[in-house]
Structure 1
Amino acid sequence: MPILIGAGVVLVGVVVWLAAWVVRLRRQLRGRERQFRDLDEYGRRDMLTGLANRAELWRELKKAMRAGEDRCAYLLDLDGFKWVNDTIGHPTGDRVLCTVANRLRATVEAGALVARLGGDEFMVLDVPGGCFADAVASVFDRPVSEYDGVPVSLGASVGRVWLNDYRSVTGLMSAVDAALYQAKDRTDRHGDARRGRVIVHDALGRHREGQRV
């Protein structure tokens, strides 16, 4: 009888130990899952602005092109940003980038993707039938910072392409980059780029301009 009681005590101890071990294992697994999710998020997000990064944009462009979605992509370059960095400083420049990122996020329609490619370049993958071209001027219609009590405004040069016109993301990016520089050339010829001017130029050669009132 004492032997049976002793065996029972040992068995209970083993069961308790196993239960505690399972609990610890589950906690470790949950921790690992969180780490993997964080790593995945890190690989998809721009660390300064929280927007999608270049890799995530590339994936989404490929997915949309494979699906044959009728969508436009917009490549934006901030006009006047170098002056902010050089004159006011890089910390202010970072805050300006975050301000622009937040305004872009608030401007696009649900389902659109906003990404930061690096520096002061952003890209918007609009929804099918979206109207970002009509809304982009509102991102720059008010100051983004101030310097010595004077409001500082930026403008933007924007290249636009239609996904269905291209067979590869590489070709699309080359075309939208060329369209952006056509818009940038018009901005340079107009001058006074920091006053809220937005110029959109597409890969077919058309352009449109918006000026802050």
Structure 2
Amino acid sequence: MRWPHATAPAWIVHAGFLTCALGAGGGFALATPGVRAVIYTLVVIASIGLFVLALVSGHLAHPRPWLVAIGGLLLLLTDQLLWPYWIIDGHLGRAEGRPADLLLAAAHGLFMVGAAMAVRHRMSADAGGIVDAAMFGLCAGGALWIWVFEPHLPAGATPVGQAQVLTDVLALCAVIGCLLRMASAATGAARGTIGYLLLTVVLTGAALTAGALGVPHRGTWSGVLMLVAFLTIAAGAVHPGAPAAIEPTGVTERRPGRFHLGWLGVALSVNPAITAVQAIRGDDRAGPQLPVATLLVIPLVLIRFKQLSGQREKAERVLAYQASHDELTGLYNRRQIMAEIDRALATQHPVTVLLCDLDGFKPVNDRHGHAAGDEVLRTVAARLTAVAGQGHAVGRLGGDEFVVLCRSGTEAEVADLRDRIAGTVGAPIPLADATVSVGVTIGAARTTPCARLDRTALIAQADAAMYAGKQHRRARVA
């Protein structure tokens, strides 16, 4: 028996989350420092246990992102066991650069990696939108650092500590942007899990902000917010929508218009503009952090440009294929097969053209419908391609007329190919409600370099031969 059930009602998870959040948060706020450390440790252990239970039960269909998240929780548990009073005493977000800060940053890094894996798997069809969202988040994180965090850093903040807090802020903002993008495309039960993950990141950022701002009782506020963040990520793992939250969606890349690109340009200009204002004002607090944050956006911009370039190349390949191939059968269309004939005539090899006109196709089309007729044409096209092989080209002139271009070969080889075409095309064709057969009349025309026939004359000879063959068939039937 699998637990938690993928079909279980979501309200059970919501009720359990609210109960645990109120109980653990209220108990933490009212307890003594020693009891707070115990409550904090128990909540982390309970979150890890729920994750493991969801994985072992098979509830999480794609375990890799969740395993990375468990690694982050284990680092947080280690941090709590080594320094149980670090958050309680209000050190979170103070940029002190202590080992507890670095271990917390490493845990957040694992959360970011897990989120990136989940986003990449789910939004594979909207990779450009995810990169845009991450860029918006990074740019917003830079502005948040300048206006909120940096002005309130204590005098004892170390460069290492500032770099760690800045990294946390940027990473959290980037993940928030990506999760918001996922939430906008989510449907059904997946919204619940994505909502919990988004709330986890927001609560973690709020705990970091409370510590950085030095608000009264910041140890209490940071501790409560982090406790609830642990509970939200665990609730996301056991939510009924967790299996669907990482499943790939059918959302396609949104085509960026001028408005979208304009806002992206504004976002990318925020950090340089702030740096310029600081330089003009002679702000003594201005440091290298914001330019470094701006540099982190450059790889995302390059990735975005690469994606757009790849999309353009793919579109060009699709357009080139559509311009040269028949939409129904996938063979060369009339224009392309004529170009292939011209290229073959420019070589020093004998060229043979076989015009193939189907016999008995109209009755099939009239009796069984156009869908059946299209299926017959596709089947004939596949058979012609298989018989002709790689050395020859096959095209559709229109309707039920095809052409096979033989770029080389003796007359005997061409005659053998002609017989094999007649036998292969005439084989029964199974349809949805019946089995039909069509014949083929083939008109052949051959030229050598010495004859110097152009394409028009060659096609005319093959057409005349095909018409004579049809007249002979009709006379024989009569």
Describe the SS at the equivalent of 2:320.
helix
More displaced, 112-121 or 135-144? 135-144
Quote how far apart the aligned CAs of 1:9 are. Answer: 2.1
Given that 2:351 and 2:407 are in contact with CA atoms closer than 8 Å, whether structure 1 keeps it comes out as yes
- Larger gyration radius, structure 1 or structure 2: 2
Q: 1:154 corresponds to which letter in structure 2?
A: V
Unaligned 5+ residue runs, structure 2? 1-281
**Residue-by-residue CA offset, 1:4-59 (whole Å, 9 max, x unaligned):** 98352233133222221111011000000000000001111111111111111011
Given that 2:444 and 2:466 are in contact with CA atoms closer than 8 Å, whether structure 1 keeps it comes out as yes
Unaligned 5+ residue runs, structure 1? 193-213
Q: 1:183 corresponds to which letter in structure 2?
A: G
Q: 1:128 corresponds to which letter in structure 2?
A: S
Given that 2:426 and 2:440 are in contact with CA atoms closer than 8 Å, whether structure 1 keeps it comes out as no
Q: 1:144 corresponds to which letter in structure 2?
A: I
Aligned residue among 68, 71, 75 for 2:348: 68
Q: 1:102 corresponds to which letter in structure 2?
A: A
Describe the SS at the equivalent of 1:87.
helix
Match of 2:377 in 1: 97
1:157 matches 2:441 = yes
How many Å separate the matches in 1 of 2:447 and 2:337? 13
Count of residue pairs brought into register by the alignment? 191
Match of 1:120 in 2: 400
More displaced, 136-145 or 178-187? 136-145
Aligned residue among 427, 438, 454 for 1:168: 454
Larger helix fraction of residues: 2
1:108 matches 2:388 = yes
Aligned residue among 153, 169, 184 for 2:470: 184
Match of 1:24 in 2: 304
Describe the SS at the equivalent of 2:288.
helix
Quote how far apart the aligned CAs of 1:84 are. Answer: 0.9
Change (3 A) 1:5 1:123: farther
Describe the SS at the equivalent of 1:83.
helix
How many Å separate the matches in 2 of 1:95 and 1:135? 21
How many Å separate the matches in 2 of 1:15 and 1:181? 72
Match of 2:331 in 1: 51
Task: Give the TM-score normalised by structure 2.
Answer: 0.37
* Identical aligned residues as a percent: 34
Change (3 A) 1:124 1:4: farther
* RMSD between aligned residues: 2.5
Aligned residue among 134, 137, 154 for 2:419: 134
Larger strand fraction of residues: 1
